[in-house]
Amino acid sequence: MRALLALEDGRIFEGVSFGAAGECTGEVVFNTGMTGYQEVLTDPSYKGQIVAMTYPLIGNYGINTEDSESRSLWLEGFVVRELSTIVSNWRSETDLDSYLKKHNVMGIKGIDTRALTKHIRTAGAMKAVMSTIDHNQVSLLQKAKEAPDLVGRDLVIEVTCTSSYEMPRQNGPRVLVLDFGVKYSILNQLFQAGCDVYVVPANTSIDEILKFKPDGVLLSNGPGDPAAVGYAVQTIRALLDIGTIPVFGICLGQQLLGLAMGGKTFKLKFGHHGSNQPVKDLATGRIEITVQNHGFCVDVDSLDKNKVEMTHINLNDHTLEGLKHKKLPVFSVQFHPEAGPGPHDARHLFGHFVDMTKKYQTVNV
C-alpha cells in the first residue's frame, strides 16, 4: 500500500506502508542505533514523535516479550529503509509488521532514510504527517503544519502510570521512582542493585511521596517539553528543600531537576537519539559511550554555579550531560545509564545512587 511522509517544510517522501494503515502526525526524529528497534518502539520518551531508523535493515531479529521497555508502544509512526522479510532469532515471538498492526502503529518502508536524516540534521526536527489514505501533497503539507507542537505540551501525563505499584521487596533501600515515562530497564537496574522499588505517577504530591518514607527518589526519563510539566518541577523543588533525600535524575529527570534548581531548558536542533553518543566524565576524564533519547536540554549557563556543578559533557555538541548539587545528595545525567539496549559504560551510576541512599538512611529515620 502506498504511503507518504510529508514534512512541514514541504519535503515529501514516498514509500510503502506496513504495520497499521491510516494517518498520524508527530515530530520527525532519527535514531542512529544499529539494533534495539523494539526498545525504541516501547520507550515512552518517543511519545509525540515519528522515528526514522538510520540503520538500513530493520526487523531481522523479530520481536519478543522480554525486550519491551514499557507496557505499550508510544511513538506515532515508524520509518525504515528496508523491512526484513526474514525473522531469524530463537527468542523471536512475532515479526515487526504484525507487532505494529497489533498496537495500531503506522510504519513506512522503502524511503531514503539517509536523505531524510541529512535533511533533519540541516533543517532540524520538524512536524510531519504519515498517511496511507491522503495522497494529496497540498493537503498533507497543511496537516503537517497544523499538527501539535512538542513545545509547551505535557506528554508526561499521557504515558505515566495511573496508580502506584511496587516490585518484589528485598529489604534493601526504599527507592521511589517518579514515573514520567520510565523504562523497565531502569527499574530492573534498581532491583538488581538490591533496592525495594516503588513506582508512582508523575503528579504524585510531595506529601504522598513522603508517606513512602523513601531512602532515595529517582526522577525517570519521559517525553516532551520539561517546561510543560510544572507540577513535577514543584514536587522536585520540595524534595530539594528537605535536603536529606538523595535524588537521581535520568534524561527528562535531569531537565526537570535543572528547572527545579532555577535553571532553564531549550530545544535541541534535532535531538540526541541513539546508542552511540560519546560523553566525557569531567571528574575522571573518562569517555563513556552512552544511550540517549532527548530533544531538550538544560542550559548550563542558567544554573547557579555556586550550587550546581556540571559533571558530564557531550563530545558531539558540547551540551550538558550531567550535573550535581554541591551541597545536597542530588545528581543527574542526560543520557540513559541503564542502556537498554546499548553500551554498559554508565551503569555504575546506579551503584553510586544506591550507596548514597544507604549513607542517608540513618538521617531520614
Number of structural domains found in the chain: 2
Give the Cα separation of 148 and 158 in Å (integer).
14
Its domain, for residue 255, covers 156-360
- pLDDT per position as a tens digit, 177-210: 999 999 999 999 999 999 999 999 999 999 999 9
Residue 365 counted as domain residue: no
Same domain, yes or no, for 185 and 334?
yes
- pLDDT per position as a tens digit, 93-116: 999 999 999 999 999 999 999 999
Same domain, yes or no, for 168 and 138?
no
pLDDT tops 60 at residue 57 = yes
- pLDDT per position as a tens digit, 260-277: 999 999 999 999 999 999
Helix (H, G, I), strand (E, B) or coil at 254: helix
Residue 41 counted as domain residue: yes
Contact of 354 with 193, CB cutoff 8 Å: yes
pLDDT of residue 156: 98
How many distinct helices (H) and strands (E) make up the chain?
10, 19
Same domain, yes or no, for 180 and 294?
yes
The mean pLDDT value for 333-350 works out to 93
Same domain, yes or no, for 57 and 196?
no
Q: Which of 101, 119, 146 is the last residue of a domain?
A: 146
H or E element in which residue 184 lies: helix 184-192
- Is residue 294 part of the annotated active site? The answer reads no
Give the Cα separation of 323 and 308 in Å (integer).
7
Q: Which of 99, 123, 146 is the last residue of a domain?
A: 146
Same domain, yes or no, for 344 and 220?
yes
3-state helix vs strand vs coil in the chain, percent to 5: 25, 35, 40
Nearest CA to 23 out of 136, 159, 149, 158 is that of 136
DSSP state, 47? T
* Count of other CB atoms within 10 angstroms of residue 16: 14
Strands 49-53 and 23-31: parallel
pLDDT tier at 340 (50, 70, 90 boundaries)? confident
Task: Please give the grid coordinates belonging to residue 19.
Answer: 504495520
Q: Could you tell me the CA-to-CA distances from 19 to 30, 65, 76, 136, 293 in Å, in that order?
A: 19, 18, 12, 21, 23
Give the Cα separation of 183 and 305 in Å (integer).
31
Same domain, yes or no, for 70 and 119?
yes
The CATH number of the domain holding residue 280 is 3.40.50.880
Residue 151 counted as domain residue: no
- pLDDT per position as a tens digit, 112-143: 999 999 999 999 999 999 999 999 999 999 99
- pLDDT per position as a tens digit, 146-179: 999 999 999 999 999 999 999 999 999 999 999 9
Same domain, yes or no, for 107 and 228?
no
Residue 218 counted as domain residue: yes
Same domain, yes or no, for 335 and 260?
yes
Question: What percent of the chain stands above pLDDT 70?
Answer: 99
pLDDT of residue 265: 98
Contact of 288 with 331, CB cutoff 8 Å: no
Per the residue annotation, which of 119, 294, 325, 336 is the catalytic one? 336
Q: Which of 116, 146, 176 is the last residue of a domain?
A: 146
Same domain, yes or no, for 213 and 355?
yes
The mean pLDDT value for 300-307 works out to 96
Per the residue annotation, which of 195, 251, 288, 294 is the catalytic one? 251
The CATH number of the domain holding residue 63 is 3.50.30.20
pLDDT tops 90 at residue 15 = yes
pLDDT tops 70 at residue 365 = no
The pTM score is 0.96
Per the residue annotation, which of 39, 69, 76, 338 is the catalytic one? 338
Give the Cα separation of 30 and 54 in Å (integer).
7
Residue 119 counted as domain residue: yes
Same domain, yes or no, for 322 and 284?
yes
Helix (H, G, I), strand (E, B) or coil at 48: coil
pLDDT tops 70 at residue 316 = yes
pLDDT of residue 241: 97
Residue 279 counted as domain residue: yes
Residue-averaged pLDDT of the chain: 96
pLDDT tier at 341 (50, 70, 90 boundaries)? confident
pLDDT tier at 253 (50, 70, 90 boundaries)? very high
Single-letter amino acid code for the residue at 166: E
- Is residue 336 part of the annotated active site? The answer reads yes
- Is residue 338 part of the annotated active site? The answer reads yes
pLDDT tier at 342 (50, 70, 90 boundaries)? confident
Show Cβ contacts of residue 365 under 8 Å, excluding neighbours closer than 6 positions.
none
- pLDDT per position as a tens digit, 17-51: 999 999 999 999 999 999 999 999 999 999 999 99
Same domain, yes or no, for 40 and 62?
yes
Same domain, yes or no, for 15 and 83?
yes
DSSP string across 80-116: -SEE-S----TT--B-HHHHHHHTT-EEEESS-HHHH
